[in-house]
């Protein structure tokens, strides 16, 4: 998958239907953290360090800060080491394992999925599966095969989420009960509510001057795909 905002910056991609990485509320893995207890409003005039590798979440925090009227100095950092990031700013945006590992060790200022939910009442779409339009035109059979495999994998994951959570927890040395709870916060569908949320995200991103107009264009699978 690619980050949602990267799709917005390309005009040669089609979205594969029924697939995304989405959270309905709290994500537990997209967090703003600090050394001491702070509120989002306390970041006014402060420095927020964000990883250079993040795209959708970096855009999301800019939208959330803008909508809350909080002016922050955003500094991009080359790594995801929270200790190093907090030497350069008062707060840090953490993604994925870095965020999960920070829970219980640093103060959580905000969970961006929850902030988006409070702002819009909608789920947050972080990533999409896409295909280049020219490739899809030339090789629809291959795209259909990949799409079918992805959809089957998604259904398998939903049916076996406990076993998957236990495996990931053991492999990453993360409490398995936490991992099960974490995986239940995520959703891999792309329904009409997700589409509306993504369109609103792109609308706000345009108002922030991050992207131009964005039109969602979908790949139309042929028959035989589940």
Cα separation, 205 vs 199, in Å, equals 10
pLDDT of 23-47, one tens digit each? 999 999 999 999 999 999 999 999 9
CA distance 100 to 97: 5
The tokens for 126 are 């972080």
The CATH number for 13's domain is: 3.40.190.10
What are the pLDDT digits (tens) for 167-221? 999 999 999 999 999 999 999 999 999 999 999 999 999 999 999 999 999 999 8
82 is a domain residue:
yes
What pLDDT score does 79 carry?
A: 84
Displacement of CA 35 from its chain's centroid (Å): 24
- Which DSSP symbol is given to 101? H
Q: Are residues 129 and 113 in the same domain?
A: no
Residue whose token pair is 């239907």:
17
Query: Residues 111, 129: one domain?
Result: no
CA distance 63 to 57: 10
Q: Evaluate whether residue 37 is within a structural domain.
A: yes
For the chain, give the longest Cα–Cα distance. Answer: 55
Q: 141 and 109 share a domain?
A: no
Q: Are residues 168 and 195 located together in one domain of the fold?
A: yes
Give Cα 65 distance to the centre of its chain: 17
What was the pLDDT predicted at 62?
94
Phi and psi torsions of 179, nearest 5°: -65, -40
216: CB partners within 8 A, 6+ apart: 15, 195, 198, 199
The reported pLDDT for the residue numbered 54 is: 85
Q: Domain span at residue 148?
A: 2-21+125-207
Does any domain span residue 109? yes
Closest CA relative to residue 141, chosen from 217, 216, 224, 218: 224
Residues 174 and 197 occupy one common structural domain: yes
Instruction: Measure the CA–CA gap between 132 and 203, rounded to whole angstroms.
Output: 23
**Position 215 in a domain:** no
pTM recorded for the entire structure: 0.91
In a domain, 129, yes or no: yes
Q: Considering the domain boundaries, does residue 88 fall inside one?
A: yes
Residue 133 sits in the same domain as residue 105? no
Whether residue 226 lies inside any domain: the answer is no
Which of 92, 120, 148 is the last residue before a domain boundary? Answer: 120
Could you report the per-residue pLDDT of 61-78, keeping only the tens digit for each? Answer: 999 999 999 999 999 998
Same domain, 186 and 159: yes
Q: How many domains does the chain have?
A: 2
Q: Tell me if 161 is assigned to some domain.
A: yes
Comparison of pLDDT for 56 and 200, the residue scoring more: 200
Residues 14 and 40 both lie in one domain: no
Name the DSSP class of 45. Answer: T
* Chain-centroid distance, C-alpha 133: 23
- Domain stop point among 120, 155, 187: 120
């Amino acid at each position: 998958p690619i980050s949602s905002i990267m799709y917005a910056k390309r005009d040669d991609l089609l979205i594969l239907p029924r697939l995304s990485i989405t959270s309905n509320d709290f994500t537990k893995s997209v967090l703003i953290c600090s050394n001491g207890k702070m509120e989002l409003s306390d970041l006014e005039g402060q420095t927020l360090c964000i990883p250079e590798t993040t795209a959708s979440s970096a855009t999301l925090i800019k939208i959330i800060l803008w909508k809350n009227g909080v002016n922050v100095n955003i500094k991009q950092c080359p790594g995801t080491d929270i200790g190093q990031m907090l030497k350069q700013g008062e707060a840090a945006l953490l993604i994925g394992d870095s965020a999960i590992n920070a829970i219980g060790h640093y103060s959580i200022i905000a969970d961006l999925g929850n902030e988006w939910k409070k702002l819009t009442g909608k789920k947050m779409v972080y990533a999409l599966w896409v295909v280049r339009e020219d490739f899809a035109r030339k090789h629809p059979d291959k795209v259909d095969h990949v799409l079918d495999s992805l959809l089957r994998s998604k259904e398998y994951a939903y049916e076996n989420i406990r076993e998957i959570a236990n495996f990931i927890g053991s492999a990453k040395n993360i409490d398995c009960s936490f991992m099960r709870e974490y995986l239940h916060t995520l959703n891999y569908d792309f329904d009409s509510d997700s589409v509306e949320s993504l369109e609103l995200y792109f609308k706000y991103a345009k108002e922030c001057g991050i992207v131009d107009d964005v039109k969602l264009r979908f790949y139309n699978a042929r028959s035989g795909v589940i």
